[in-house]
Amino acid sequence: MNYYNKLERHAKKLSRLGHLNAICGWDQAAIMPNGGAQARSEAMAELAVISHELATASYLENWFTEAETEELTPEQRVSLVALKRQWMMQNILPAELVEQQSLTGSQCEHAWRSQRKTNDWEGFKTNLKPVVELARQEAAIRAQATGLSRYDALLDIYEPGMTSAVLDGIFTEVKSWLPQLIQQVEAKQATEVTIPLSAPFAIEQQQALSLDAMKLLGFDFEHGRLDISTHPFCGGVPTDVRITTRYDENDYTSALMGVIHETGHARYEQGLPQQWRDLPVGEARSMGIHESQSLFCEMQLSRSESFSRLLAPMIQQAFDSKEDSLSAENLCLINTRVKPGFIRVDADEVTYPAHVILRYEIERDLIEGNIEVDDIPAIWDQKMSQYLGLSTLGNFTDGCMQDIHWTDGSFGYFPSYTLGAMYAAQFMATINKEMNVEQLVSQGNLTPVFEWLHNNIWDKASTLSTDKLVEQATGETLNPEHFKKHLIERYLNN
Amino acid sequence: MNYYNKLERHAKKLSRLGHLNAICGWDQAAIMPNGGAQARSEAMAELAVISHELATASYLENWFTEAETEELTPEQRVSLVALKRQWMMQNILPAELVEQQSLTGSQCEHAWRSQRKTNDWEGFKTNLKPVVELARQEAAIRAQATGLSRYDALLDIYEPGMTSAVLDGIFTEVKSWLPQLIQQVEAKQATEVTIPLSAPFAIEQQQALSLDAMKLLGFDFEHGRLDISTHPFCGGVPTDVRITTRYDENDYTSALMGVIHETGHARYEQGLPQQWRDLPVGEARSMGIHESQSLFCEMQLSRSESFSRLLAPMIQQAFDSKEDSLSAENLCLINTRVKPGFIRVDADEVTYPAHVILRYEIERDLIEGNIEVDDIPAIWDQKMSQYLGLSTLGNFTDGCMQDIHWTDGSFGYFPSYTLGAMYAAQFMATINKEMNVEQLVSQGNLTPVFEWLHNNIWDKASTLSTDKLVEQATGETLNPEHFKKHLIERYLNN
């Protein structure tokens, strides 16, 4: 066996341990009884240690050196690059740093749960400071190894190839038109009358509706399931994708839209190529591309007028009601309602980028050392006022303490959300050139649309760089203009 | 850290990998979509390889030698014996033999699924022969290492300390009275009129009833769940016990009695001592003792008259019916109906031992080399006729091909079923000396009964030999007389 093949076998071994971790992690989040928590954590920690030992085994360096001199097919060479990237990513940090990060992250997150409720910024910031400090150390190590700037070195974990220089360009442009657009949309929607939904919506009926929506979107139930968890997610493995949701009796749309979003993630995973299964080159391209698939389903498809017309009879049937509030017209109004708010996860499609840009600008400056933790609330308030016209002065709960994203030190992830929205718009624009999506949707025939995604995105996995992937699929690299056009088209010109 | 502590840490590591295996195995059996099967098998096989490497690591021999010279507490010394037994059990077989067994076992079982349907003994026996041959090899290796006879060396895997000499004595005695008892019971029951249950029984209602029964029997839902699987089992880990059942709309009793049986297994697991968690000495004592706990719940408790009176109102409420067929009297008649049949798993409490003795006698002689695979059908027919008055001549489907027990070479397990029934009767006889079980049951107060089991059985885990455990609990080692008395009391003298 040559060294490339040895590396492949080693990566598959790691991937299979990852499989066990994914299933036990899903179980933990979705169905494990509370009393099982400690033993489960211990068991998963044991697996993490074994995986880490395998991933950082000392013989691997030599295997890579040897493999690089071997005669490989072009495809194997691409795979080797992905293998090496994964190996380097896992080897770059000293074990003590990772351990310290895990510890301070848990501490910060745990305290945050009560501190958020009492608006306790003073308490929270004492925990956040060491988290940021360790993230800076990580960034410095990664920067030195990759030649990237500190923040870019973190960004690179989630969005290989993306830089803050590119992001700054994109987001500056967005900021030049977004606040005004939001105002225009708000003014336009001020005269629209939305009929409120009449709750309650029985959970059993919501569940049936969710499954119907998943079927409509082509979720493969031979290779996945829908279950319930407090924090919805898409987990499992490509051959067995586990998506979760939570049901609110007062508002069925949160579960339904959540399920549609996760179905987008799930179809990407289920559509990854069999040929590269269990290898890094066969994994999803990036977090931004992953998010583009969920947002394609949730935003591009499901919040469109034609999709509302397709869904309305399903919704009416699920709840056995023909009320006006469940008419296609009203559902479309509800699904496209724009209203600036404090909370990112509750934000609509138009205001969402403002939240992301705010978070990006703060985390970039934090990691680069241009600002300190103490500066966050003032900057947050200033940017919220500027982008969304809302003040968070003294309101930490709905400001910089609103979610757990930073508590564990995952800086560099935020841009993926808006990059995903932009990629999704660009994909839809391209698909619309090749077929009449609106017509297909009204016919309930989504197959050609998903076939395009399958051929152009899912099947490519990580064989191409993000830029190449997007260029091959759409004829150009990331072009945020499509996203802007989409927002104007849907929210102003309709 | 001394060597004993190193061995403890090593065993805990193995136990934690076993935790992941248990949860992923439960998932596979209970909820995994079909398409996930191959990747799951691969992932679990990878874990098995890692566990095997750990369990058989070459440094362990030295660790044991060193640990045995260390100053240890009496409890640690007991634990060390259990650690060493587990290590020897895992090291004794050459890897090639284990692999070959796994292969021929899978083949035999897979073919059996179709061969049983077509009564194809000729086909089946060609697959069974190599399975038996490998089991004989395993028995020879184990016999040499332990000084036991070949069959006893296999028996020892499931029932440490038990021998065929003891079993022969017990079973010869049982055979001297069982066939006659069965005839007497049949004659007595011939005049009893049972009102047939009126199906269907909605699965949702059966599920609610099952959960109620589990609550009544003290199942700890903070540390376990009930789910559905094709072949019911008790899996998971002590802190998170997963029991499963399957529902038959035509007969609720199969699921209910199955759940009660598995709850008995579950309470044993949930009641194992925290002090020894993740160590061999903290595991269940033996398969026979495990079965004694499930049969204590299912047979000793639940098929008693007083328990039928306790359950009847719950059953009537679950199915919202006051029909005569659901009266306590009728349920008791149904739960104690005796009828010789071909199939072991469908057998009642009285005829069950006949099935076990038949299987034991055949597998003992097979492994010892006194008979060959070709001889099985004739011996089976002869013993079935003798013990239960039924002929299986030419009927392999309902005879020696009725279940998968032998297909994977698990010889030595069968006696555990009847040993379990005997231990359960002995425990109940002892408990009845200390308290009035019938009265407690009619009050719905099972706590004192389970407390006895907790203190005398569960909490002891594997710190005592089976003989010592039973003697400390009941004042004598295994005494089959209690089982005989129980059967006569319940089935003739009532």
Q: What is the pLDDT of residue B99?
A: 87
Select from A33, A34, A239 the Cβ nearest to the Cβ of B35: A239
Most B CBs within 10 Å, among A9, A10, A24, A204, to test the B interface: A24
Please name the residue of chain B whose CA is at the shortest distance from the CA of residue A21.
B20
Per the CB < 8 A criterion, the answer to whether B99 and B107 are in contact is no
Q: Which two tokens stand for residue A196?
A: 């409120």
CB pairs under 8 A between A and B: 103
A449-483 pLDDT per residue, tens = 999 999 999 999 999 999 999 999 999 999 999 99
A256 within 8 A of A206, measured Cβ to Cβ: yes
Residue with tokens 């899996």: B235
- Cα angle B414, B419, B422 (rounded to 5 degrees) comes to 145
Statement: residue A404 has pLDDT above 80:
yes
What distance in Å separates the CA atoms of residue B6 and residue B11, rounded to the nearest whole number? Answer: 9
Say if residue A261 carries a ligand binding annotation.
yes
The per-residue pLDDT for range A283-313, each reduced to its tens digit, is: 999 999 999 999 999 999 999 999 999 999 9
Helix (H, G, I), strand (E, B) or coil at B225: strand
Closest CA of chain A from B125, distance in Å: 35
Rounded to an integer, what distance in angstroms lies between the CA atom of residue B413 and that of residue B157? 8
Query: For residue B122, what is the enclosing H or E element?
Result: helix B121-146
Whole-number pLDDT of residue B225:
98
Contact A20 B237 (CB under 8 A): no
Chain A positions touching B33 (Cβ under 8 A) are 221-225, 240
Chain B hits for A240, Cβ within 8 Å = 32-33, 35-36, 39-40
Least CA distance to B40: which residue of chain A? A19
Helix (H) or strand (E) holding A224: strand A224-228
Mean pLDDT of B294-314: 97
Q: Is B349 helix (H, G, I), strand (E, B) or coil?
A: coil
Distance CA A384, CA A366 (A): 17
Cα separation, B58 vs B360, whole angstroms: 37
Which pLDDT does position A95 carry in this prediction?
87
Instruction: Measure the CA angle with vertex A277, ends A273 and A280; round to 5°.
Output: 100
Q: B21: nearest CA in chain A?
A: A20
Starting at the edge strand found earlier in the chain, the sheet holding B234-237 runs B224-228, B240-245, B234-237
Position B280 confidence tier, pLDDT thresholds 50, 70, 90 = very high
Mutate to test the interface with A, among B17, B27, B38 (most CBs of A within 10 A): B27
d(CA B267, CA A205): 36
Rounded to a whole number of angstroms, the distance from the CA of A204 to the nearest CA of chain B is 13
Across the interface, whether the CB atoms of A46 and B239 are under 8 A apart is answered no
Let me know the angle formed at the C-alpha of B96 by B92 and B99, rounded to the nearest 5 degrees. Answer: 100
Q: What is the pLDDT of residue B114?
A: 93
Residue A225 β-bridge partners: A242
Q: Following DSSP, what letter does each residue of B467-489 receive, concatenated?
A: HHHHHHHHSSS--THHHHHHHHH
Distance from CA of A218 to the nearest CA of B (A): 15
What is the predicted pLDDT for the residue at A307? 97
Q: What pLDDT band is residue A65 in, cutting at 50, 70 and 90?
A: very high
- Residue, of A237 and B103, whose pLDDT is higher: A237
Q: How much is the pTM?
A: 0.94
Q: In angstroms, how far is CA A393 from the centroid of its own chain?
A: 29
Q: Which of B228, B239, B270, B278 to mutate to test the interface with A (most CBs of A within 10 A)?
A: B239
pLDDT value of position A103: 87
d(C-alpha A436, C-alpha A440), whole Å: 6
Asked if A33 and B221 come within 8 Å (Cβ–Cβ), the reply is: yes
Dump pLDDT digits (tens) for A163-180: 999 999 999 999 999 999
Residue B95's pLDDT is 87
pLDDT at B399 (0 to 100): 97
List the one residue out of A40, A48, A201, A278 whose CA is nearest residue B40: A278
For residue A241, the distance in angstroms to the closest alpha carbon of chain B comes to 9
Helix or strand or coil: residue A48? helix
Chain B interface residues facing chain A, Cβ-Cβ under 8 Å?
A: 13, 16-17, 19-20, 23-24, 27, 31-36, 38-40, 42-44, 46-47, 50, 220-225, 236-240, 277-278
Structure token digits, residue A254: 């949160």
What percent of chain A has a predicted confidence (pLDDT) above 70?
100
Give dist(CA A6, CA B461) in Å, integer: 44
Q: Pull the structure tokens for residue B363.
A: 């597998």
Residue A435 — φ and ψ, nearest 5°?
A: -155, 165
Which of B43, B238, B239 is closest, CB to CB, to A16?
A: B43
Contact (Cβ atoms closer than 8 angstroms) between residue B15 and residue B278:
yes
CA atoms of A261 and A417, how far apart (whole Å): 12
Q: Which residue of B has its CA nearest to A23?
A: B24
pLDDT tens readout for residues A187-200: 999 999 999 999 99
- The residue of chain A nearest to residue B15, with distances taken between CA atoms, is A43
b (16+ CB within 10 A) / e for A190-214:
eeeeeeebeeebeeebbbebbebbb
What is the distance between the alpha carbons of residues A147 and B126, in angstroms, rounded to a whole number? Answer: 65
Instruction: Report helix, strand and coil shares of chain A as percent, to nearest 5.
Output: 70, 5, 30
A276, A282 Cβ separation under 8 angstroms: yes
From chain B, the residues in CB contact with A221 under 8 A are 33
Give the pairing of strands A234-237 and A240-245. Answer: antiparallel
Query: A27 to chain B: which residues are within 8 Å by CB?
Result: 23, 27
Residues of chain A with Cβ-Cβ distance to B242 below 8 Å are none
B236: which chain A residues are within 8 Å (Cβ-Cβ)?
36
| pLDDT value of residue B440 | 97
Beta bridge partners, A242, equal: A225, A235
Question: Nearest-CA residue of chain A relative to B47?
Answer: A17
Q: State the nearest Cα–Cα gap between B32 and chain A, in angstroms.
A: 7
* Range list of H helices, A190-322: 203-216, 252-271, 287-295, 305-318
Nearest neighbour of A225 by CB, restricted to B33, B224, B239 = B33
Interface TM-score (ipTM) > 0.90? yes
Taking residue B279's Cβ as centre, other Cβ atoms within 10 Å add up to: 21
| Mean pLDDT estimate for chain A | 96
* Nearest in space to A406 (alpha carbons), one of A344, A341, A466: A344
DSSP B47: H
pLDDT at B466 over 80: yes
Helices A252-271, A328-335: crossing angle, 10 deg rounding: 80
Distance of CA B211 to the CA centre of its chain: 22
Burial class (CB in 10 A: 0-12, 13-18, 19+), A80: buried
The mean pLDDT of A350-367, rounded to a whole number, is: 98
> Does residue B249 surpass a pLDDT of 90?
yes
Q: Is the pLDDT of residue B494 over 80?
A: no
**Contact yes or no for B239 and A36 at CB 8 A:** yes
Our CA-based measurement puts residue B465 at a distance from the nearest CA of chain A, in whole angstroms, of 27
Task: Give the three-class secondary structure for A202.
Answer: coil
* Nearest residue to A484 (alpha-carbon basis) of A476, A473, A492: A492
Instruction: Give A-chain residues touching B235 at CB under 8 angstroms.
Output: none
Instruction: Say how many C-beta atoms besides its own lie within 10 A of residue A147's C-beta.
Output: 8
Cβ of A43 and B24 within 8 Å?
no
Contacts of A34 in chain B (CB under 8 A): 222
Mutate to test the interface with A, among B8, B20, B40, B211 (most CBs of A within 10 A): B20
Tens digit of pLDDT for each residue in B199-230? 999 999 999 999 999 999 999 999 999 999 98
DSSP assignment of B354-401: HHHHHHHHHHHHHHHTSS-GGGHHHHHHHHHHHHHS---TT--TTTTT
Q: Chain-wide mean pLDDT for chain B?
A: 96
Task: Show binding-site residues of B.
Answer: 261, 265, 291
Is A99's pLDDT higher than 90? no
- Which residues does residue B225 pair with via DSSP β-bridges, in sequence order? B242
| A13 vs B contacts (CB less than 8 Å) | 46
Task: Tell me how close the Cα of B360 comes to any Cα of chain A, in angstroms.
Answer: 38
| pLDDT value of residue A11 | 98
Query: In the predicted model, is pLDDT for residue A425 greater than 80?
Result: yes
With both helix axes pointing from N to C terminus, report the angle between A466-474 and A415-434 in degrees, rounded to the nearest 10: 20
Residues of A designated as active site: 262
